[in-house]
Structure 1
Amino acid sequence: MEVSTPASRRIDARIDAAYGELPPQERRVADFLLEHLGDLAIFSAADISREAGVSKATVSRIFRKLGFESFSEVRDHVRELRHRGIPTTAPASSEDTEGLTVLERHEAQERENLSRVMAALEGGRLQQAVQLISDARRVVVVGLRNGFPLALHLRQQLTQIRGDVTLAPLPGQSLGEELAALGAEDLVIVLGFRRRPALFGRVVERVDAAEAGLLLIGDSTARPYAGRADAWIECSHHADGAFDSYAAAMSLISILSSGVLDARRTSGHRRISHISAAYEEMGELEDL
């Protein structure tokens, strides 16, 4: 019995479809695969055979039933899922083959992500992005799906420094309201990370057609849109676990905002002072 499903179908979905008809030994292999989707790269077919307590022939047989020719194909499939941003099970072992713990691996990956985004800002790119934000008549920050919380935070930081900073889309709204009146003096900051909605490309095209400025921030999968941007900052989000990390993106937001404050030093500090006074008058913040 082979699973007649499209080749693009996730391995866990294939297992779910076949599980009820698998004999007990093959179910043990299926259970092992589901529990180790995130770290299959450290296993061989012989390892799976040993860990599941079944023969190598049993392991090969279930691979074929699931539509794979070999374990190498299974690993390539799981890597592709991860590359597309689909969460897979986090590593089950507390230490890897190099003796690093989960926390140590996580820290190392975060350091690498941060180093990459800092390198991307060299050569005047940071100054270029800061100048675009500082000089624009109006700034629209667009974040879709994973980019939305980042866009929300960026807008919150920028609005403390300068006026006319809006977030799009707001809950219950479409993007058309915010993008309809764009002009050459405006800037749109678009944050786009993998597994973006199909609408993303149309947003970039709309900004381009309006001749507004475009600051594009995203991971490597957004690179095809970089040619339409006035400034492009690539921000790595790789993670050792199942879910992408946005720590480097948050750090980027911090340094961008600080740069804008420095560029608009007098008016920026005056605005911060007025906002702080409003907080106190309204009693909105805790006394620390």
Structure 2
Amino acid sequence: MNEGAALASADRVLDLFHGVRLTPTQRRIAHFLVQHAATATYLSAAEVAELAQVSQPSVTRFATALGYDGYPALRRRLRELSTGGAGTTGRTGNELQRAVQAERENLDRLAEQLADREPITAAGALLAASRPLPVLGLRAAAPLAAYFAYFAAKVHPDVRVLDDGGSQLTDRLEQAGAAGASALLAFLLPRYPRETLDALGEARAAGFSIVAITDSPVSPATEYADIVLPAAVGAHLVFDLHTAPMALAMVVLQAICDAAPSDTQRRLEEFELSAARRQLFVS
């Protein structure tokens, strides 16, 4: 199976899980099936269990949760999905052009997802109310956390970027909590840093509400987050493209602004006056 067909197959498998409430163990199985969509159709329930590091009965219960009689019925459906249309036949040109075209498809999926505004609205309300607002992003996610925080600081009085791991990360989480933080925005993108997951576990234990922007509704973030906002990552080049997660970050910031419109307007006006006084911009 070529790369385009393999990615399309993974997308179709991922569609099986939309709207289904899965347990952490079931999310692990779902994540495995998405990541190995091209080969999972040839695996038995025991083999899936071993590779996903769960029990065989968990694989059976997972299939039942999706509405199938058992894993054999689910495997038949996976085979149908793997042999279906690639869904990427509209891509043309060289590999660089196809990579950019794939990002357009990721944005299209994100746009369809945003037809349901409830998760975004709920995320905006949680984050707007948190004083301070910690924003977590390690390794590949660090630039997205910084990008979000740069603009969020114009409408939120206290945004704190957590982009360094180690023992000081826990210190800064504890400091944010002591200062009154009630929610955390986390960016978790492949490859998933263990330190990020550890930090999410600590934040959850400390009582933070967690909003996670991640690449998939079955990513490891779902084990910790109250609200999971997925946006696909492009994987056609040597390094990932984060076009859709960056767009989603700005959508979340819009929701924060919408949750506190008067405060947003006041802070934006104050910034513009300060910027004019200091002559920050040439136009």
Indicate how the Cα distance of structure 1 residues 240 and 112 shifts in structure 2: closer, same or farther if over 3 A, else same. same
Structure 1 position 186 matched with structure 2 position 182: yes
- 1:144 pairs with one of 118, 133, 138: 138
Instruction: Summarize deviations over 1:179-235 as a string: whole Å, max 9, x none.
Output: 113268521111011123221221111111101110111113862331321110111
The equivalent of 1:253 in structure 2 is 249
Structure 1 position 267 matched with structure 2 position 263: yes
Instruction: Summarize deviations over 1:49-81 as a string: whole Å, max 9, x none.
Output: xxxxxxxxxxxxxxxxxxxxxxxxxx98xxxxx
Instruction: Summarize deviations over 1:250-282 as a string: whole Å, max 9, x none.
Output: 111222222222222111111011112112222
Deviation at 1:240, TM superposition (A): 2.6
Verify the 8 A CA contact 1:110 1:247 in the aligned structure 2.
yes
- 1:109 pairs with one of 99, 102, 113: 102
Deviation at 1:238, TM superposition (A): 1.9
Verify the 8 A CA contact 1:144 1:196 in the aligned structure 2.
no
The equivalent of 1:216 in structure 2 is 212
> Where does 1:3-82 land on structure 2 (aligned, <5 Å)?
none
Deviation at 1:176, TM superposition (A): 2.2
Task: Give 5+ residue unaligned stretches, structure 1.
Answer: 1-38, 43-74, 77-95
The equivalent of 2:161 in structure 1 is 167
Instruction: Summarize deviations over 1:57-107 as a string: whole Å, max 9, x none.
Output: xxxxxxxxxxxxxxxxxx98xxxxxxxxxxxxxxxxxxx997533454133
Verify the 8 A CA contact 1:110 1:239 in the aligned structure 2.
no
Counterpart AA for 2:123: A
Task: Give 5+ residue unaligned stretches, structure 2.
Answer: 5-37, 40-88
Distance 1:187 1:98 in 2: 40
TM-score by length of 2: 0.62
Larger radius of gyration: 1
Counterpart AA for 1:275: F
TM-score by length of 1: 0.61
Distance 1:98 1:223 in 2: 27
Identical positions, percent:
22
The equivalent of 1:200 in structure 2 is 196
What SS does the aligned partner of 1:137 have? coil
Distance 2:90 2:144 in 1: 35
Verify the 8 A CA contact 1:192 1:222 in the aligned structure 2.
no
Counterpart AA for 2:140: N
| Structural RMSD (CA) | 3.0
What SS does the aligned partner of 1:174 have? helix
Aligned length: 198
Verify the 8 A CA contact 2:204 2:224 in the aligned structure 1.
yes
Counterpart AA for 1:179: L
Deviation at 1:149, TM superposition (A): 0.3
